[in-house]
Amino acid sequence: MSEIGEALAFAARLYGERAHIAYSGYVRRDLMARLHLRDGRANPYPIYERIRERGTLVPARVDGDWVTASHRVCHSVLRSRRFGVQPAPGDDISFLGMNPPDHTRLRRLVQPAFSPKVVASYRQRIERTVAGLLDRAAAAGEFDLVPAFSAPLPIAVITDLLGVPDADAGDFARYGAAIGSALDGIKSLRHASELLANGVKLHKLFEDLIGLRRREPADDIISRLVTASGDQVKPDEMMPVCVLLLIAGFETTVNLISNCVLALLAHPGQWRDVCDAPRELAAKAVEETLRFDPPVQFTDRIALEPAEVEGQAVAKGERVVTLIAAANRDPEIYDGPGAFRLHREPGPEHLAFSSGIHYCLGQPLARLEATIAIQILAERMPHLAQAGPVRRRGGTIIRGPLHLPVTAGRAAPVRQPAGHRG
């Protein structure tokens, strides 16, 4: 098909899908479709509760054939070998979109870079980055937390981890953010062509970097991948792994930090508790945010063979949407699930990082980054307050603010870096 033909076919699919969502949501009152409409995007949680009321596995018209809000059912579908993933053609999401054995082979290769020991070795670098960002923000007094703090931190960490030279880090960040915007779907033809253009530039940057690390390996993930022995990584598998790590590092941790700050500012008593004991309570605040308002709201699995789930027959090829954000508020599992309580008794693990073989590879890093961010923020800016309206991202899968204006209030004395460790 010619490029114009492809573009037209794409536009027809895109606008057909939009019309289907609007029809299913407004006319058929389909709950999954309503998540995509204005109210659902602003606050999906009441819709999740209505899905839960209908049963543990209910038919859907948008995003999949079935949907579940149950912790037990999400957990079991995500862990079941009868279910797997099926990426849309053209998606560059590497092993996130693969089933075993390819998934196992590629994940194993990258895993050592995210071991507890390696991740712990990033602590000081993360602390330095956080302190630097807060210095700049404090000087401004009033600032937008997302672009000034939550977003630059994960970008700095992941570009460092991948071994991106400082001189190129800005370009990687720009192209990566543009591609990450597709996680929530392509919005228009213009968006699609921007993605394509940024994708080409990002690939070129990675190609050069991969070439450099072949000649001069260093202590980073890309060097590890290119020096991997034998046929462990096929040449055309390299680029998607790099893109996956870049985007996964960009688009998620930013929302964990912002959602945590939002929840704490909405619960001033708990923010005061964190400020009184930042080292002890920052990690708890992050963990409760992952349960209460997770950055990734849902994922899905395809039945690889016919399966019976909750007494219903799921045919081979049918897609089950696992609403992990709803599972995290399942009253069968959590007491007072709709309340943000950082002093909550530890219970079964939330599903914010999914479960089973695709359980988030980067979770130790995400937890460490967010904990350090909240800890130092509480130490340095205990009088932090919201200074303007929140503007949210537009999609349904990734949840978090795009803009969160805050004021630092009265400045706290700067502690010595040693005080940040431990």
Interface residues toward ligand HEM, by CB under 6 A: 95-96, 107, 158, 244-245, 248-249, 252-253, 256, 294-296, 299, 352-354, 358, 360-362, 365-366
User: What's the min distance (Å) between Cβ of 184 and ligand HEM?
Assistant: 14
Contacts of residue 98, Cβ cutoff 8 Å, sequence gap at least 6: 85, 87, 106
User: What's the min distance (Å) between Cβ of 297 and ligand HEM?
Assistant: 9
Amino acid at 267: H
CB nearer ligand HEM, residue 25 or residue 362? 362
CB nearer ligand HEM, residue 327 or residue 360? 360
Residue 279 CB burial class (10 angstroms; 0-12, 13-18, ≥19): middle
User: What's the min distance (Å) between Cβ of 349 and ligand HEM?
Assistant: 13
CB nearer ligand HEM, residue 156 or residue 366? 366
| Rounded alpha-carbon distances, angstroms, from residue 58 to 51, 67, 204 | 8, 5, 44
Is-contact 92 240, C-beta < 8 A?
A: yes
The span from the CA of 348 to the CA of 20, in Å, is: 37
User: What's the min distance (Å) between Cβ of 19 and ligand HEM?
Assistant: 27
E strand map for 183-336: 299-303, 307-309, 312-314, 319-322
Closest residue to ligand HEM using C-beta atoms? 362
Question: Residue 212 gets which letter from DSSP?
Answer: H
User: What's the min distance (Å) between Cβ of 227 and ligand HEM?
Assistant: 20
CB nearer ligand HEM, residue 64 or residue 382? 64
Kind of pairing between the strands at 66-68 and 319-322: parallel
With both helix axes pointing from N to C terminus, report the angle between 152-162 and 253-266 in degrees, rounded to the nearest 10. Answer: 150
The span from the CA of 146 to the CA of 123, in Å, is: 21
The span from the CA of 199 to the CA of 176, in Å, is: 8
Is-contact 87 93, C-beta < 8 A?
A: yes
Phi/psi of residue 384, nearest 5 degrees: -55, 135
User: What's the min distance (Å) between Cβ of 114 and ligand HEM?
Assistant: 7
CB nearer ligand HEM, residue 192 or residue 304? 304
Is-contact 99 85, C-beta < 8 A?
A: yes
User: What's the min distance (Å) between Cβ of 317 and ligand HEM?
Assistant: 17
CB nearer ligand HEM, residue 198 or residue 259? 259
CB nearer ligand HEM, residue 36 or residue 103? 103
CB nearer ligand HEM, residue 60 or residue 296? 296
Direct distance between the N- and C-terminal alpha carbons of the chain, in angstroms, rounded to an integer:
59
User: What's the min distance (Å) between Cβ of 12 and ligand HEM?
Assistant: 28
